[in-house]
Amino acid sequence: MGIRSEQRDKRIREVREAAWRLFEDQGYESTTVRQVAAKANVSTGTVMNCGGKEALLLALFETAITGRMGPARSNDGTAVESVWQRYEPYFNFYASLPELARSYGRILLSPAGRQHPALGSQAREFNALVAGDIRHHYPRITDDDAARAAEAIFAIYIHALVAWVSGAATLDEATTAFRQQIAWQLARFDET
């Protein structure tokens, strides 16, 4: 990696760190690009080259979400418990930063966010993990059935987030409904 590339990467990290601190301290809506630039000791143009405020929040959440997408804690419980263990860190993360998570959800679910990895490559990778958990508990079902079930559960997850972000449900209500939906989705495999 060249010196310029290293400097650019360092600047991007500094801008993201500054943005995250400001978002946590004063909220997404109250934070301006100028404030991020001042906190990172860069120009507003540099912040805009990082994609601006929306892109910064999406990138920060993408990093945080990727860090939570690891091996499930245990496959010893039920299939519902295994799948829930995949999703639980995200709900806990959203609960720890509700205002930022709502802003993230609004941006992600807007037309501008539809191409974001959380709804594309990251979602496919996550769904593959969930499908693997489902197959572990239901070895007689096909890979395609497990994949379709994982995709359906992910769609229900997005619906739960929409309900919460829109104010139609509290996070606790959305979480409870989502957990019930996992059970209902997987109940069809109990006979296989």
Collect all residues with Cβ–Cβ distance below 8 Å to 175 and sequence separation of at least 6: 91, 160
Running along the chain, 192 residues long, what does each successive block of 10 average in pLDDT?
A: 81 92 93 95 90 87 76 72 91 89 85 70 88 94 96 93 89 95 94 68
Counting other chains too, the contacts that 118-122 makes at CB distance below 8 Å and 24 or more residues apart are 118/58, 118/61, 118/62, 118/65, 119/158, 122/62, 122/65, 122/66, 122/69
Task: Return the pLDDT at 50.
Answer: 84
Task: Return the pLDDT at 71.
Answer: 65
Residue pair 16/56 in contact by the 8 Å Cβ criterion = yes
Domain boundaries, the chain: 1-50, 61-187
Distance CA 23, CA 1 (A): 31
Q: Which CATH number fits domain 61-187: 2.30.30, 1.10.490, 1.20.1280, 1.10.357?
A: 1.10.357
Residue pair 46/11 in contact by the 8 Å Cβ criterion = yes
Query: pTM, whole model, 2 decimals?
Result: 0.82
**Encoding tokens for residue 120?**
């594309």
**Encoding tokens for residue 145?**
């059935």
Distance CA 54, CA 51 (A): 7
Task: DSSP for 56-120, please give it.
Answer: HHHHHHHHHHHHH-S--S-SSS-HHHHHHHHHHHHHHHHHHSHHHHHHHHHHHTSGGGTTSGGGT
Task: Return the pLDDT at 3.
Answer: 78
Among all chains, which residue has been given the structure tokens 């359906």?
Answer: 152
Task: Return the pLDDT at 190.
Answer: 87
Distance CA 188, CA 183 (A): 9
1-50 and 61-187, same CATH topology? no
Distance CA 163, CA 174 (A): 7
Q: CATH topology for 1-50?
A: Arc Repressor Mutant, subunit A (1.10.10)
